[in-house]
Amino acid sequence: MIDIRFVRENPEAVRESQRRRGNDESTVDALLAADDARRSALQTFESERARQKELSRSVGKASPEERPVILAQAKELAERVKALEAEAARANVAYEEANRAIQNIVLDGVPAGGEDDYEVLRHVGTPRDFAAEGFDPADHLDVAEGIDAIDMARGTKVSGARFYYLKGAGARLELALLTMAADQAEANGFTLMVTPTLVNPDIMAGTGFLGAHSDEIYYLPADNQYLVGTSEVALAGYHKDEIVDLSDGPIRYAGWSSCYRREAGSYGKDTRGIIRVHQFNKVEMFSYCRIEDAADEHQRFLAWEEEMLHKVELPYRVINTAAGDLGSSAAQKFDCEAWLPTQNRYMEVTSTSNCTTYQARRLHVRERTTGENRIAATLNGTLATTRWLVALFENHQQADGTLYVPEALRPYLGGRDHIAPVDRK
Task: For residue range 403-423, list pLDDT tens digits in order.
Answer: 999 999 999 999 999 999 998
From residue 112, give the alpha-carbon distance in Å to each of 20, 22, 357, 398.
5, 8, 21, 41
Which residue of the set 276, 290, 410, 416 is catalytic? 276
The answer to whether residues 342 and 137 touch, using CB atoms and an 8 Å cutoff, is: yes
282-304 confidence digits (pLDDT tens): 999 999 999 999 999 999 999 99
Which residue of the set 231, 287, 329, 351 is catalytic? 351
Give residue 66's pLDDT: 79
The answer to whether residues 193 and 257 touch, using CB atoms and an 8 Å cutoff, is: no
Which residue of the set 39, 348, 374, 416 is catalytic? 348
Q: What is the DSSP string of 196-220?
A: -SEE-HHHHHHTT-SSTTGGGS-EE
Give residue 203's pLDDT: 96
Give residue 51's pLDDT: 86
Residue type, 18: Q
Q: Residue 265 pLDDT > 70, yes or no?
A: no
Q: Which runs of E-coded beta strand occur in 42-145? A: 119-124
Reading phi first (left if > 0) and then psi (alpha if -120 to 50, else beta), residue 328 is in: alpha
C-alpha angle 415/418/421, rounded to 5°?
Answer: 135
| Most distant CA atoms of the chain, gap in Å | 109
> Annotated catalytic, 15?
no
From residue 240, give the alpha-carbon distance in Å to each of 65, 131, 206, 233.
55, 54, 9, 11
Give the mean pLDDT of the chain: 94
Q: Residue 268 pLDDT > 80, yes or no?
A: no
Residues 191, 234: Cα–Cα separation, whole Å: 14
Q: How many CB atoms lie within 10 A of CB 189?
A: 12
Nearest alpha-carbon partner for 136 in 394, 373, 327: 394
> Annotated catalytic, 272?
no
What are the structural domains of the chain? 4-100 (1.10.287.40), 119-419 (3.30.930.10)
Which residue of the set 21, 49, 387, 394 is catalytic? 387
Residues 124, 309: Cα–Cα separation, whole Å: 10
From residue 233, give the alpha-carbon distance in Å to each of 26, 127, 154, 242, 344.
29, 35, 30, 16, 33
Nearest alpha-carbon partner for 185 in 81, 264, 300: 300
> Annotated catalytic, 261?
yes
299-318 confidence digits (pLDDT tens): 999 999 999 999 999 999 99
- The gap from C-alpha 227 to its chain's centroid, in whole angstroms, comes to 14
Sign (positive or negative) of CA dihedral 310, 283, 119, 275? positive
Which residue of the set 21, 252, 261, 300 is catalytic? 261
- What's the pTM? 0.92
Percent over 90 (pLDDT), the chain: 86
Q: Residue 424 pLDDT > 70, yes or no?
A: no
Residues 263, 242: Cα–Cα separation, whole Å: 33
